[in-house]
Structures are given as structure tokens and as C-alpha cells.
Amino acid sequence: MSKIRIASLQMKVCEDKYDNIERLAELVADGAAEGADILSLGEIWNSPYQTDLFPVNAEPEQGDSWLALSTIARKNNMYVVGGSIPELGDDGNIYNTCYVFDRQGRQIGKHRKVHLFDIYAHGEQVFKESDSLTAGNTFDTFETEWCTMAVNICFDIRFPESSRIPALNGAKVIFNPASFNMTTGPAHWELAFRQRSVENQIYMVGTSDAQNPDAGYLSYGHSIITDPWGKVLMQMDEKEGHNITEIDLDYVDEVRRKLPLLSARRTDIYELCYNNTDR
């Protein structure tokens, strides 16, 4: 079994966390993921993307948002790559965290955003996730009935190692819940996903939040899926909506046979060193 149907749900995020949880349940109940094997959500889908609101909406693992995702997975018999939410860690720090659930609603994966989005765009745009968030330090994979998969979160995609490490550890699909803005989105969104797909010969699944004109942070939207040859299989616009796209894992193997990039690496003269003390 090599084909997987992925439902990308691009949700419009509002101010109230519980309204967002209810909206997610409504969209799924209305068929946003009908017939899908995997549901993919956007970055910080349960809260406005504002650093001052991350602590307000943070919750520990197995909190209300976690439970909503687990329940959706179990009731709909599908995997859920749960975008990301502000996680209150056991250490008291807040992380930008993605949870992954299997068809029974069991958590099988977790990724804390490694590269925090701290930018200073010529004084015109300043955004510092580090004002309230702590960076993660692992690039973990998770196992599914089809293959090994992984998660990056938004800014992680800017760093080639974030995708290469999971790819070398067997990942054939990498999900990236993200919320690029109206400057970086038009410039680099599609390019970044195509680039990571080509160099690692994998499927990249980028799921964004929908654009909310009333929000302080405008998300670019344009949820996207790119294949191992760099082709854009699906790309949405900025509005709330969903799309179900079929991918074929046999194509990963085919591309790697025709153009053996990973196996042709000169590990006798260079190697990627993963310095993580938590491994």
C-alpha cells in the first residue's frame, strides 16, 4: 500500500481558543477530511499568532487542544498531524509544539519548533517568538503504516538540516505546519517547499492557517504539497478551506533510483553531525 490521501485543513483562527477548537471539530464533521488517511493542520491553530497570547493559551500535553486532536483521530479513523499549539512544558517553558496521533487517537509523535522566528526586517517588521517561546532541540521521526514521517514547524524549513536529518533517518514525508507572512510568503513559500522536496527526494506537506484580515499577524495561507521531483501537487489560496491530495510513496523510490542524490553523498569527505544530547 503506497498511496496516501492527505487532507490539508486551512482554518481561520479567531481570538478565543475554545472557539477555535469548536471550529476545528465542525469543519471535520462537515467533511473537511472525509476519505482522508491523514489530516494536517496549520501552525498555532488554537490561538492568534501573537507572542503575548502564547502564554495565555498555552496548555500542557494532554490538555484540551491535545484531547480534541486525539478524539478527531479516533472518531474518524485517521492519522492527525496536529499543526502546532503553544505547549506548557513540565519545565515551565512554553514551546511551539506539534502532536501526531494514529488512527486510534494515540500520540505517536511530537515536535517542538527548533528555530524560533526572530526577525528584524529593516525596522519595518519585528517579530520575536523568543519573547515567549523556548526552542526545541530534536528532529524526531514517527512511524506510520506506510513509512517513516517527520514534522518541521514553519521557520524550521529555512534550515536544510531540519529536513535532511529526518530524511537520512528514513522519512519520506515531512509535514510543516506554518504561517508565513505577507512578505516572506509571496517571496519564498513555494520555493522553500519545492527546494526541500528536491534535495531530499521526499514529499513536503505545508499546511497554513487561513488569512484573517482582522488579525494582528496576517498569514499568507497557500497550503501546499510538493513531490520528490519538486512539482507542486496542490496549492490553496489565502481563504479558509480544505483540500484532499493523494500522494504515492512508490514515486519516492522511483525518483531516488533515477537520480540517486542521497546515496551519492560523499560521506568519506563530509558528514552531517547531529549534536543533540536528548537523543
Catalytic member of 129, 154, 172, 240: 154
According to DSSP, the β-strands at 3-10 and 38-40 are: parallel
Catalytic member of 12, 17, 43, 59: 43
Give yes or no for a contact between 215 and 238, defined as CB atoms under 8 angstroms apart: no
Three-point CA angle 5, 7, 12, nearest 5°: 175
CA gap 23, 19 in Å, rounded: 6
Residue 268: Cβ within 10 Å count: 6
**Which cell is 252 given?**
519516492
**Which cell is 52 given?**
503575548
Looking up cell 513559500, which residue turns up?
189
Q: Which residues contact 165 (CB under 8 A, 6 or more apart)?
A: 139, 272, 274
Helix extents (H) in the chain:
17-29, 54-57, 64-76, 160-168, 184-200, 250-258
Give yes or no for a contact between 104 and 73, defined as CB atoms under 8 angstroms apart: yes
Catalytic member of 12, 17, 113, 172: 113
**113 an active-site residue?**
yes
Altogether, the residues listed in the chain come to a count of 279
Active site residues: 43, 113, 154
